[in-house]
Amino acid sequence: MAFLEIDELTVRLPQGRAARPILDGVSLRVGEGESVGLVGESGSGKSVACRSVLGLLPEGAAVSGAVRVGGRDVLGMRRAELRSLRAREVAMVFQDPRASVNPMRRVGDFLTEGLRAAGTAPAVAARRAVELLEAVGIRDPEGAMRRYPHHFSGGMLQRVVIAAALAGEPSLLLADEPTTALDVTTQAEVIAILTRLQAERGTGMLFVTHDLELAAAVCDRVYVMYAGRIVETQTAAGLFARPRHPYTAGLLASTPRLDPDAGPPKPIPGRPVSLAEAPTGCAFAARCAQVRPECLVEPPALVRADDAYAACFRVDEGIVT
């Protein structure tokens, strides 16, 4: 049994706010200590899936399916259970550190808040926070505890956020685009710190990003999402060697490369499906170069192809790009 199991999770916004579900039968697994990537364009539902693990769902949404952490159903938890889950078992690192830390409180208050919510004594929490600041490479951790978020750069503040997420010694870390708001040089540092600490502590991680290459570099396995569905999942290495879904192949082909023989990047034609559209068949059909008549009739199910799974009628034929 995997530590995190999402089974057939479907999330629908209230009538009139969206034509299709934001999540449509999403299933995914993260084992203990495993790093799993969740890749998709903005609006594909990856962040919603990620937040559902903490029981954070859009207001008024109709939800079916199950989210289990350590075998317990998150969606059926009472408030107190949810609080304990969030404080001790699953922690999240958000995209923009500037927005995710309260600008009016000291960094120390931010770091210890989760621990104190879980009932740790203030002095113990403070000692632990200093250790973690040291672990994420913040100089003068004691001084940093007394400073305010605006005294830190974005990259340094994201380190603080990572330290705060690890403070409760969670078994699972949710990272929702943790480096998207940072500049490239800082990105690499933050990713290095994140993966090092995660490996050292044996923490499982669900890494959400729009960057397939980054996901492949960080994760053991990758799920690719499109329009609220998982369209492909396989190992990071397999994804590059042999993408099974035309969307994944398109994502790979659209990445710019430094290699002089690689040729210019080929963007995927068209645009992502908005929440106002509800195509009857495969949601990617309108942008797919290999579309066939049956693709427009009903959405393909996720089927096995060797070690991979892909939701495409032509999964066995291989992809011509």
Return the residues of window 106-135 that contact another protein according to CB under 8 A: 109, 113-114, 117-118
What is the dihedral sign for C-alpha 262, 266, 272, 278? negative
Smaller CB distance to another protein: residue 46 or 86?
86
Kindly state whether residue 180 participates in binding another protein, applying the rule CB under 8 A: no
Distance CA 225, CA 248 (A): 9
Match 């934001």 to its residue by tokens: 22
* Site residues (CB under 8 A) for another protein, limited to 52-71: 54, 56
Contact status: 96 vs another protein (CB under 8 A): yes
The answer to whether residues 312 and 245 touch, using CB atoms and an 8 Å cutoff, is yes
Q: Which of 99, 124, 217, 296 binds another protein (CB under 8 A)?
A: 99
Distance of closest approach, residue 56 Cβ to another protein, in angstroms: 6
Does 104 interact with another protein (rule: CB under 8 A)? Answer: yes
147 lies in the binding site for another protein (CB under 8 A) = yes
Q: Strands across the sheet with 308-310, in order? A: 90-93, 172-176, 204-209, 35-39, 221-226, 229-235, 308-310, 303-305
Q: Does 72 bind another protein (CB under 8 A)?
A: no
Q: Does 157 bind another protein (CB under 8 A)?
A: no
Q: Rounded to the nearest 10 degrees, what angle do helices 154-166 and 184-201 cross at?
A: 10
Q: How far is the CB of 92 from another protein (least distance, A)?
A: 5
Q: Closer CB to another protein, residue 85 or residue 225?
A: 85
Q: Which of residues 27, 84, 180, 290 is near another protein by CB under 8 A?
A: 84
- SS3 of 36, please? strand
> Which residues, 6 or more positions from 200, have their beta carbon under 8 angstroms from its beta carbon?
none
Tell the burial category of 82 from Cβ atoms under 10 Å away from its Cβ (0-12, 13-18, 19+): middle
Chain contacts with another protein (rule: CB under 8 A): 51, 54, 56, 82-88, 91-92, 94, 96, 99-105, 109, 113-114, 117-118, 146-148, 150-151, 164, 168
